[in-house]
Amino acid sequence: MQNIRGIVFVIFSMAVFAGEDAFIKSMSHGIPVSEVLIFLGIGGMVSFATLTFLKRGTLAPLVHRDMRSPLMLWRNASEAVAAMFFITALSLVPLSTVAAVFQATPLAITAGAALFLGEHVGWRRWSAIGAGFIGVLVIIRPGSDTFQLAALLPLGAVITIAIRDLLTRQMDPSIPSLSVAFYGFAAVIPAGLLLAPINDPFVMPSGIEWAYMLGAVICGVSGYYAIVQAMRIAETSIIMPFRYMRLIFSMALGMLVFAERPDFWTYVGATIVIGTGAYTFWREQKTRAR
């Protein structure tokens, strides 16, 4: 029963994360990416500070002794850069393309863990990782008539999010997850300020853009809560394959909301990325079971 609840939580989180991306994309049509980053950072900080207070009755957990450690600072820096890549990608690239490339994140994490953390990765998983990134190239197709440099932005987000997650693995487990999320959103604010000089001037959001902002924050916070709950109550091997539901939800929203029509090669590349990601995870579980 716990596994079923975990699956429901994962599917819900993937749906609302796709919704968050759609809200951000809609919002970026009217206001600069730098402004989107700043508002999202503030909204996330307020949300996670509120959740911390409701859960603990105090904001003291946000002042953990390790919050100023070099590891935390590097993690937050990678979070900031990832946000710049990802949200800029959403503003310039079709949602379905961003989502398809983003599915390569687990492959990048596995490769990074082998290269930098000394984790053993056999030739089968290395082959799957290589095939997965070939799938990414199929999606963005550098050198083709349809290629645009902005298509590399989701790949930048994949790499920097993998760095963030690898740094997170090295953190003290006693640091509350809500505190980590709070500072992750806090790091997004200076990212927006850094982009401001090269973006369009600040504009006051309209009523509908404020609604998009609120929707993005609600989706992001509820998705985070749901995925944490899923990881706590269910077996990882059972729920992890359902994380790929995000691509399905994103493609559906891209078609329904933004009139996107992914081409044949996007579907082929996405299938390769998902297939190799699922195989890599299966091999990892099999290796651990020995």
Q: What angle do CA 277, 280, 281 make, to 5 degrees?
A: 90
Mean pLDDT of the chain: 89
Residue 278 has pLDDT above 80, yes or no: yes
Half-sphere exposure of 144 (CA within 13 A, CB side): 10
Q: What angle do CA 20, 113, 18 make, to 5 degrees?
A: 10
For tokens 């959001």, what's the residue? 205
Residue 177 has pLDDT above 90, yes or no: no
- The whole-angstrom separation of Cα 162 and Cα 3 is 26
pTM for this one? 0.91
- Residue-number span of the structural domain to which 15 is assigned: 2-289
Residue 136 has pLDDT above 80, yes or no: yes
Q: Rounded to a whole number, what is the largest CA-CA distance in the chain?
A: 58
Residue 224 has pLDDT above 70, yes or no: yes
Half-sphere exposure of 106 (CA within 13 A, CB side): 21
- Using alpha carbons, list the distances in angstroms from residue 120 to 67, 105, 107, 126, 221: 30, 18, 14, 10, 34
Task: Please give the pLDDT value at position 65.
Answer: 72
Task: Please give the pLDDT value at position 290.
Answer: 64
Q: Work out the average pLDDT over 184-207.
A: 92
Q: Is residue 169 very low, low, confident or very high in pLDDT (cuts 50, 70, 90)?
A: confident
* Least trusted range by pLDDT, from 109-113, 140-144, 205-209, 275-279: 140-144
Residue 73 has pLDDT above 70, yes or no: yes
Task: Please give the pLDDT value at position 4.
Answer: 86
Q: Is residue 242 very low, low, confident or very high in pLDDT (cuts 50, 70, 90)?
A: confident
Between 242 and 211, name the one with better pLDDT.
211
Q: Is residue 240 very low, low, confident or very high in pLDDT (cuts 50, 70, 90)?
A: confident
Instruction: Report how many domains make up the chain.
Output: 1
Task: Please give the pLDDT value at position 92.
Answer: 94
Residue 216 has pLDDT above 90, yes or no: yes
Between 65 and 137, name the one with better pLDDT.
137
Task: Please give the pLDDT value at position 289.
Answer: 66
Residue 237 has pLDDT above 70, yes or no: no
